[in-house]
A and B are shown apart, each in its own frame.
Chain A
Amino acid sequence: MKKIKFDILKYAMVLGLVTTPFIAISCRQELDINVDPNNPSNASITSLLSASQVGLGYVLGGEATRMPASVMQHYAGHRGQPLNYARYNITSSDTEGNWTYLYDVLMDLKEVENKGTESGEQVYVGVSKLLQAYTFSVLTDLYGDIPFSEALKSMNNSTPAYDTQANIYPQLIAMVEDGIAKVQSGAVTLSSSADVVYSGDVNKWVKFGNSLKLRLLNHLSKKDPSAAANFLATNPDLIDSYTDNAKVPFGTTASSANPIYQFDKLSGRTDQAVASTIVDKMASLSDPRIAVYFEPIENGALAGQYIGNTPGSNDEDSAKEKYSRVGSAYASISSPVMLISAAEVNFIKAEIYQNAGNAAGAQTAYEDAITQDFLALGLSSSDATTYLANVNVTFNNTLERIMEQKWITMFQSSYESWVDWRRTGFPMLTPASNNRTGSVIPRRLPYPTVEINVNGSNLAAGPGIPTPYVTLLTSVWWDQ
């Protein structure tokens, strides 16, 4: 028995030596290793602000534009999804990206708000609120009722209920007003490098806020026709010069490129084209912007010409021999994406004055709008004068003329043209050929698949589960 004990001791020591490095490690230390080394646990308010601004620009220029641009006949794809959109074949699957990315941006903006509120950096909170109001408005204008008051609460509410657009709009206006006040609060300066839209110029943010408020009140033209006029009568400080245009810049590398450039040039899809509707209209007006709006046909017998595809036409052109693409002003690698421009603000003013019977005010605003757009695009004011002298461009005291020119000017902000068309009926559009909706032009986007799948009960309790090719023909609240 003694012998055995001795052996046990001896070999236990040997084995102990072998196993010690592995079992004697501090258990606790080895277990406390679950902090993610691949992602930061904290992020600065400036890095969140830059990211959310660029994110907003990217989605607006890309997903949020493609479908409205197809409806508004700015674009007319010849194959694939762009062709489907042009034919109003827009499904819940198609609208999921746009929905998701816009809420992603909102969450980042919300984080700027949260951090700024905590640290007292009210100016950041203000900019965040202005951009949140902007983003929410794009969402509700596209989809109608959306999650708003219960949105952006992360896992505290993973299935937020839908608010009606009628309830959302006043809150957006309040959010803008709150944002303007906070931007003006002087609580800290805004980083000039992190604020890629206005390089930290808070006065411009105030103009942005007022211009956005004017835009949103003008959206209510069917519901509250005097709201925008009343606000305009207070002489708010607006974006009235193109140098104050709110735009998101892009870079010169593939991973910082403009969204249209990425879609048309980098993705290799080649299925997008511009619509004959806008190209033909601009050609008939000898609009000099045609050269920067569109890219001439690249190859073949028609090379050098500006030609658009007929909306709904399935006429394959991957060889780029038949149709123009979006041009240098909006689709070069570093083209900025416009949020609100002096041109748009002046068109809004023109519409308000026109509706109020103030023809002189409307004419001035109309001419300013076109001139500001020309200047923003690098054309001269004399180019604008020449253009305005064209008998089919000259102010003629009709809303139709104003809205037609606005539709041309808003080529890169088609979601806004879609709002205008729904409110005013201008420009008059001929439905696309081979469309999926019995030749009725859509008035909204259907809710995305993800909402049907994971937030279905709230969707059903609110605006209802969308019916394919039917729901998109119905009107949102301000369109009723």
Chain B
Amino acid sequence: MKKLTTSVLAAVFSSSLVVAQEVQNDSTQTKQIEEVVITAMGIKRQDKALGYATAKVGGEDLSRAGNQNITNALGGKTPGVQVIASGGAPGSASRLVIRGGAKSLTGNNEPLYVIDGVPISNANDGNYNTVSGISSPNRAADINPDDIESITVLRGAAGAVLYGNRGSNGVVVITTKSGKVRGGRPIIEFSSQIAFDNALKLPDYQTEFAQGYGSYREGTSLSWGPRIQGQSVYSSAAGGNITLQSYDPRKQFLKTGISRSNSISLSHSFNKSNIFFSAGHSLQTSIVPNQEYEKTNFRFNGTTQVTDKLDLGASVSYNRTNGNLPFAGQDGNNPIFALFHVPVSWNLKGNGYVNANGRQVNFRGGSFDNPYWSVYKNSATTKSERTILGLNLGYQFTDWLKLSYRLGNDKLVDNRVIFRDMYSGAYPNGYLAYDDIARNELTSTVMLNFDKQLTDRLNLTAVLGQDYNKRTYTNTALIGTSLSQPGIIANYNIAEYYTGADNYNTSKRTLFGAFADITLSYSNYLFLNLVGRQEWSSTLPKHNRSYFYPGASLSFVFTDAFDINRNFLSYGKVRAGISKTARDANPYLVYQVYSSAKYRDGFTAGVTFPAVLNGSSLTGYSVANTARNEDLKPEFTTEYELGAELKFLRNRIGLDFTYFKNVNTDLIVPNLQISPASGNRYGVVNLGETRNQGIEAALNIVPVRKKDFSWELNFNFSKVKSYVADIGDIESVRLGGFSANPAIYAYRGERYGTIVGTAYARDINGNIIVDNGYPTIEDGVKLGSVEPDWTGSINSSFKYKGVYLTAQVDIRRGGYIWNGTEALLDYYGVSAKTANREEYIVVPGVTSTGAVNTTPVLQNLDYYDTLPDEEYVYKNNWVKLREITLGYSFRPAGLPFVRSIDIGVYGRNLALWTKVPHIDPESSSFGTGNAQGASRFAFPSTRSFGFSFKVQF
């Protein structure tokens, strides 16, 4: 074993890519595994010693319903965590925020992901904050859910103070399986799942009217044509006369997606060593044709006690993905955008998508393609490889002093190929881009750990440490703006290359930290924790780059301190904490630059320098659109929290309650939208203050606990109220959305995230002002906050002998969503309600003279054209039956080598109850950034039914 570890070490050092594994801190006195929580820096702490809120989710709970993206799987499992998927396509990204995700105004509000003590990237390089892009994953989805032993969510800033920076939004601490087994015999586990996916919810369509406007017409997205009565009309797209009838293009196009996953693992303990090896593979085909996402994972975790004093750990995970992904949002090749407004009079499947001369059969015209063309001719593929390495060394000097060192490295390369064939609507000459992203993150941490009983009652644990983090990013793109021949995805087929300087982009940032974490405990029931961190960041100007932040928390287990009847109150703890954290900026926001000149408009790609004009090649630079800031400061968060954990009736009822409040100041806004008349479009600023407060509660009830039968219920509840207290002398900060409106803004004096768009123009009495029978509108109106009033979930788990039945229901109340899907379906005349187009409506309102409007207007295109965004803003209330699993675990008789077999069926996203029409409101079309609350042709979420099989040898 010694030899093996030496060679591992050598390999690890020669490539200088290393990562870590959890610290073997066996000095912690643990009776039951549930009582131990992995906190910051991989330190294990007794749950009762913690003065801040955490929640732990077992690996089994994450993987049982076949969710390949752990970010999605975490939804509804613990209080304080909110997950929103950008769409339901295989491999698409989700956003997870803790405590509302409203600390930073425009910076990243997602938590830090840490796997076995190593910080990793959760970047979304496909559609983070954009209305288009591609549906590639948030990178935490690379992790194989079957490898996970448990996930601890550190909700507050207090628990994460030692991570600095990114940890201030909370930390998702992932612990993978260690291989530790009892009894010396290795465990081999094999698991397999297969599931069938369909769209959970599709829009409702009218089936009576054909494409066109007045008469039958093609080349338009409008279905304001004639009533479908079997008449014969000329179709230029079909190349002849067609008989009008009603089809179901959605049904023709969409299919059942299939998800398959298999994984195998080996766990073994021998000679004071534990090893864990796993291999996993999953393949998900989409509900749209020709798209899929494949993921392959390997992991090796090993720990060994080299001597009594020296322990070593190493872990390596390798992940590979292959995807053919949908274009997202407003992209002309978003298959859903094109599909959702196909007129019912168009025989989508029957008429094909390529005509005899190789051109597109495009009944719609313009920049949106036939959906079949979008998925068969055009593609966005991704091939990623990721290696996460960890190395741990621990040396126990004495029973109270240990030195540990951890080196971690996360290396990700994603090779994407974006192809739009010739004759595509928006790319008549074709487009091909080889777009490569490379990310690397190195973290080195050295820690000195003290654990000393000072007196009979007084114990001191302390960690002193130093860390270094370096992150690099490179994006290299080779872009062809026109092709020579159709259908060939190859470099030699590019007729013209894009020459802009922005086809190469790189960044590097470093962060140094020194930290201390000291816990003083009295009689193992009163714990005082003091933390502090000094940090130096490369992304801030020299005079502001060094900063310090402290924290303190107190935990008091009063049931241990006082003589309390344990039969009633079995466990009681109260806790309080206060902490300060800081966040640095993104790289390159300090010094002013020029940019390679590029003049484009919202409709064209524009002119890019260098350019050949008048026969000579010219360089051209322009003032950068963003004014940078040489006085940039870090942004600070101060968070307070109070909590209680109570267990009653011998742990039959458990309650975990937290109140928190945070104040965030000097917020870094790297892209504050300013008046273009200033000569810049954006400015880098420190601005204002946000405040958030809320409560989080988890109630655990065990109505039945018998030997053969148990029933457990978990209720999670979170209520967060954010408040944009101050944003300097401006009114609002744009978070994302369309270049004009609707968009999402943070408004001073409002909750974080407000939908802004057009609204009905009203008189002082609130009556809609009607002009010629049509409502009048005004722009730039606040249409509602996107933040939920509360979110909750109910988890139920029955067990009878080997049979288990679990269910999860998620609930959201409050906040608003802009239903852009409905707005456009109405405008196009395809939604069910537009079937009443021959009926008149008298818009309730008053004319400009104040008289009540009596002018009837037809509910036709002209009418829908006048409806403002306000008409499509809904209360974002929903209830979702998220998961049901039913299974049977048993040890088969007569097969002594089989430890257990588990067979089950499961369903995910089984039902949705909401008043928001046409769409699953749990979707986002402005990406996974801070601009939530808008859905416009988001990829439909899917309902899955699956079977699972697991066997342990």
Binds B, one of A203-211, A220-228, A445-453: A445-453
Q: Is A394 an interface residue (CB 8 A)?
A: no
Query: When chains A and B are docked, how far (Å) is the Cα of A150 from the Cα of B676?
Result: 12
Does B191 interact with chain A (Cβ within 8 Å)? no
Known A160-B678, A249-B613, A271-B366; contact A38-B603, beta-carbon cutoff 8 A: no
Q: How many angstroms between the C-alpha atoms of A458 and B678 in the bound complex? A: 13
Nearest CB to that of B730 among chain A residues?
A454
Q: Does B949 contact A (CB under 8 A)?
A: no
Does A259 touch B at the CB level, under 8 Å?
A: yes
Asked whether A267 and B236 contact (CB < 8 A) given A11-B403, A314-B213, A316-B365, the answer is no
Q: Which of B362, B504, B618, B734 contacts A453 (CB 8 A)?
A: B734
Residue A463, interface by CB 8 Å: no
Known contacts A31-B512, A34-B590, A50-B618; A155 and B624 CB within 8 A of each other: no
**Cross-chain contact B595 with A39 (CB below 8 angstroms):** yes
Q: Which residues of B contact A262 (CB under 8 A)?
A: 604-606
B675–A451 CB distance below 8 A: yes
Is there a chain A Cβ closer than 8 Å to B814's Cβ?
no
| Pairwise interchain contact B679-A199, C-beta atoms closer than 8 A | no
Are the CB atoms of B680 and A316 closer together than 8 Å? Answer: no
User: How far, in whole Å, are A158 and B496 apart by their CA atoms in the complex?
Assistant: 39
Q: What separation, in Å, do the CA atoms of A47 and B740 have in the docked complex?
A: 31
Q: Which of A40, A58, A104, A152 touches B607 (beta carbons < 8 Å)?
A: A58
Q: Is the CB of B407 within 8 A of A22?
A: yes
Q: Which of B426, B587, B609 contacts A34 (CB 8 A)?
A: B587
Q: Are B599 and A54 in contact (CB under 8 A)?
A: yes
> CB distance B676 to A33 under 8 Å?
no
**Shortest Cβ distance from A366 into chain B, in angstroms?**
32
Partner of A450, one of B16, B507, B673: B673
| B729 contact set on A, CB distance < 8 A | 159
Q: Is the CB of A51 within 8 A of B673?
A: no
Which of A92-100, A281-289, A350-358 binds B?
A92-100
A contacts with B, residue count (CB < 8 A)? 118
Q: Does B367 contact A (CB under 8 A)?
A: yes
Say yes or no for A480: interface residue by CB 8 A criterion.
no
Assess whether B604 is in contact with A40, with CB atoms less than 8 Å apart. Answer: no
B677 interface residue (CB < 8 Å to A): yes
Residues of A near B588 (CB, < 8 A) are 34-36, 38-39
A4 / chain B contacts, CB cutoff of 8 Å: 397-398
Using known A-B contacts A22-B468, A23-B468, A62-B601, determine if residue A103 contacts B607 with beta carbons closer than 8 Å. Answer: no
Binds B, one of A105-113, A398-406, A412-420: A105-113
Q: Does A80 contact B (CB under 8 A)?
A: yes
Assess the B536–A27 pair: CB atoms within 8 A.
yes
Residue on B with the closest CB to A99?
B676
A154 sits at the interface (CB 8 A):
yes
Q: Is A48 an interface residue (CB 8 A)?
A: yes
Does B763 make an interface contact (CB < 8 A)? no
Can you list, as one digit per residue, whether each of A28-62 has a CB less than 8 Å from chain B (1) or not (0)?
00111111111111111001101110110011001
Contact of A54 among B16, B607, B730 (CB under 8 A): B607
**B357 close to A (CB within 8 Å):** no
Whether A48 touches B405, Cβ cut-off 8 Å, given contacts A151-B678, A268-B426, A454-B673, is no
Query: Which residues does chain A contribute within 8 Å of B366, judged by CB atoms?
Result: 79-80, 268-271, 318
Assembly CA distance A434 to B603 (angstroms):
24
Within 8 A of B (CB), among A249-288: 249-257, 259, 262-263, 265-271
Partner of B679, one of A107, A194, A267, A455: A107
Are B601 and A158 closer than 8 Å at their CB atoms? no
Whether A134 is near chain B, meaning CB under 8 Å from some CB there, is: no
Q: Is A103 a contact of B611 with CB atoms below 8 Å?
A: no
Q: Say whether, besides A18-B405, A159-B730, A249-B613, A255 and B605 are in contact (CB < 8 Å).
A: yes
Give B733's nearest chain A residue, CB to CB.
A454
Chain A residues, CB < 8 A from B509: 33-34
Q: Which residues of A sit under 8 angstroms from B428, Cβ to Cβ?
A: 265-266, 268
Q: What is the CB-to-nearest-CB distance from A137 to chain B, in angstroms, rounded to a whole number?
A: 15
In the complex, the chain A residue whose C-beta lies closest to that of B756 is A453
B537 contacts A by Cβ under 8 Å: yes
Answer yes or no: A456 CB below 8 A from chain B CBs. yes
Task: Point out which of B776, B777, B780 has the most chain A C-beta atoms below 10 A from its C-beta.
Answer: B780
CB neighbours (8 Å) of A321 from chain B are 236
A15 in the interface (beta carbon within 8 A) = yes
- CB-CB contacts below 8 Å: B730-744 with A: 730-732, 734, 738-741
Residue A118 at the chain B interface, CB threshold 8 Å:
no
Q: Mark A174-203, 1 if CB is under 8 A from B, else 0.
A: 000000000000000000011010010000
Is B778's beta carbon under 8 Å from chain A?
Answer: yes
Q: Would you call A390 an interface residue if the criterion is a C-beta within 8 Å of the partner chain's C-beta atoms?
A: no
Q: Is B830 an interface residue (CB 8 A)?
A: no
B930 to nearest A CB, angstroms? 16
In the docked arrangement, what's the CA distance between A96 and B310, Å?
66
Q: Is the CB of B591 within 8 A of A35?
A: yes
**With contacts defined as CB atoms under 8 Å apart, how many contacts are there between chain A and chain B in the complex?**
369
Cβ < 8 Å to A, chain B residues 646-675: 672-675
The answer to whether A103 and B367 touch (CB under 8 A), given A30-B512, A36-B593, A262-B604, is no
Is A317 engaged at the interface, CB distance under 8 Å to the other chain? yes
B496 touches A254 (CB 8 A): yes
Are A456 and B780 in contact, CB atoms less than 8 angstroms apart? yes
Residues from chain A with Cβ under 8 Å of B741 in the complex: 93, 449, 453
Q: Is B827 an interface residue (CB 8 A)?
A: no
CB-CB contacts below 8 Å: A297-335 with B:
314, 316-319, 321
- How far in angstroms is the closest Cβ of chain B from A254? 5
> Please, which residues of chain A bring their CB within 8 A of the CB of B362?
318
CB distance from A344 to the nearest CB of B (A): 22
A47 and B620 form a contact (CB under 8 A): yes
The answer to whether B602 has its CB under 8 Å from any CB of chain A is: yes
Whether A33 lies near B508 (C-beta < 8 A) is: yes
Cβ–Cβ contact A54 & B611, under 8 A? yes
Contact assessment for A267 and B538 in the assembled complex, using a CB-CB cutoff below 8 Å: no
Q: Does B309 contact A (CB under 8 A)?
A: yes
Stretch of B69-77, B215-223, B694-702, B713-721 that contacts chain A: B215-223
Judge whether A19 and B592 touch: CB under 8 Å. no
A30-B538, A155-B683 given as contacts; is B745 within 8 A of A453 (CB)?
yes
Please report the C-alpha to C-alpha distance between residue A153 and residue B675 in the assembled complex, in whole angstroms.
11
Instruction: Report if A426 contacts B (CB, 8 A).
Output: no
What are the residues of chain A within 8 A of B739 when measuring CB–CB?
A: 93, 96-97
| Chain A residues, CB < 8 A from B612 | 251-253, 256
Other-chain residue from B599, B621, B738 in contact with A59 (beta carbon distance below 8 A): B599
Nearest chain A CB to B314 CB, angstrom units = 13
Name which residue of chain B comes closest to A42, CB basis.
Answer: B594
Interface residues of B in 323-364 (CB under 8 A from A): 332, 362
Residue of A nearest to B504 (CB): A38
User: Do A318 and B627 have beta carbons less than 8 Å apart?
Assistant: no
19 sample A-B contacts, Cβ–Cβ < 8 Å, listed by A number: A4-B398, A15-B446, A34-B588, A38-B505, A41-B592, A50-B613, A51-B609, A54-B609, A93-B779, A99-B677, A100-B676, A100-B681, A104-B599, A105-B599, A249-B614, A316-B213, A316-B217, A438-B772, A452-B779
Known: A38-B506, A55-B622. 19 other contacts (CB 8 A): A36-B588, A36-B593, A39-B588, A44-B619, A51-B609, A51-B621, A54-B613, A110-B679, A111-B622, A159-B678, A259-B601, A266-B605, A267-B604, A268-B427, A268-B428, A449-B780, A450-B675, A453-B741, A469-B776
Give the top 3 A-B pairs by smallest Cβ distance, nearest first: A318-B365, A93-B740, A51-B620
